[in-house]
A = this chain, B = another copy of it.
Amino acid sequence: MTPLDPLLFGEIDPPQRLLMGPGPVNAHPRVLRAMSADLLGQFDPEMTGYMNQVMALYRPIFGTQNPWTMLIDGTARAGIEAALVSLVAPGDTVLVINFGRFGLLLGEILTRIGAVIETVDAPWGEIVPMEAIAAAIERTGPKIVACVHGDTSTTMAQPLDGLGDLCRAAGALCYVDATATIGGMAIAADRWGVDVVTGGLQKCLGGPSGSAPITISDRAADHIFARRHTEAGIRSADSIDGAGPRIASNYFDLAMIMDYWSDKRLNHHTEATSMLYAARECARVMLGEGLEARYARHAAAGRAMSAGLRAMGLTLFGDDAHRMTNVTGVFIPQGVDNDRVRAAMRDHFEIEIGTAFGPLQGRIWRIGAMGYNAMKHKVLLTLAALEACLLREGFLLPAGAAVPAALEAWG
């Protein structure tokens, strides 16, 4: 221990920072408190009871009746990889609907799985029209279609109504990454007709990163169970293996994870208990508020943020008709120093706003209002602080206009 500071860096004591970027955001205090509950054994009836409650709580949040609705132990990206590695076998053709960085991520993960990747693309700031998707499905004959719902890199939300019908007609399964929208914009897995949807806690659900809710249609579950290979250490006489190709990951093998969450309770990983408590409380907070009220609150926050930014004379990025409600892209004005403004926001106001990736890096900020932060006062405080920081930069703007515009847009 000698080389370490004897104070061992002190108690955990993060600054109270308002996180108005594209996520992670501040967690709801009830979620933080839920994580301080004591642990349980993984096959304790109280624990499996909580697991079953989580399954019930996430069905309305995903807009589904799917029995297979549960958690993957890892960040939102773990949920994406679990879905793709369990659905897709090497050599399968996958059509990626690509309109931003997280569409690229789907392709990246699929490359490693050994899929044959086809894409149908939109420029950053737009979405892919359903007719283009239909044509691409016809052209490529995919086994799987993969899509991001809301891509925070571009702040665009892809319309998904009708996608399931196109996939079913073509005999394809459909995966949707709803990390950035779940809890803030309506997820309608059953109405969309999509097979697997994954999310994360750290954006509109108002929890910490580290648990990925997932829902799986019966059709997809059959497909996945056909690839089941029970591991040697827990194999028994009644283990049933499928004839399909073995899933390339053990940790992300949804067949084994479903066996763990089912009444079989076959040992796999040790469920991340505190994160399960967090996921459960995120869902309770959300359903207690009511789905429609919650989506309306996010929509109001998005409208107010957009109106306030425009009242400051700033220009929003991307297609107005397909904007995510919970994160807004705004061009950094000419002559304004990106890093200096974000530093001033943080140092003077303890507010974080987001930078951008790839072609948008240094060109836009991404300002979020998600989950516990999709609140009127937090939107107004962010606008007021940004106005002050831009004025200090010498940017000419109609001082005092942003807050009233936002208030009016909130409605």
Contact = CB atoms under 8 A, between A and B. Distances in A.
Interface of A: 1, 3-4, 8-9, 12-17, 19, 21, 23-27, 32-42, 44, 46-47, 50, 53, 56-57, 60, 73-78, 81, 85, 101-102, 104-105, 107-109, 111-113, 153, 200, 202, 208-211, 231-234, 246-252, 267-275, 277-278, 280-281, 283-284, 287-288, 290-291, 346, 352, 357-358
Give the 4 A-B residue pairs with the shortest CB-CB distance, closest first.
Answer: A210-B272, A101-B233, A208-B274, A104-B233
Contact of A73 (B25, B27, B74, B273): B74
Q: How many copies does the complex hold?
A: 2
B21 A41 contact: yes
Given A273-B24, A274-B278, A291-B1, A250 B35 contact: no
Contact of A77 (B9, B26, B250, B291): B250
B78 A41 contact: no
Nearest to A54: B9
B24 A41 contact: yes
A116 to B, nearest CB: 16
B73 A233 contact: no
Nearest to A361: B236
B53 A39 contact: no
A268 B39 CA distance: 29
A256 to B, nearest CB: 10
A8 B284 contact: yes
A14 B37 contact: yes
Given A36-B32, A233-B358, A250 B46 contact: no
Contacts of A15: 40, 46
Contacts of A277: 12
B14 A38 contact: yes
B44 A233 contact: no
Nearest to A19: B41
A16 to B, nearest CB: 6
B44 A17 contact: yes
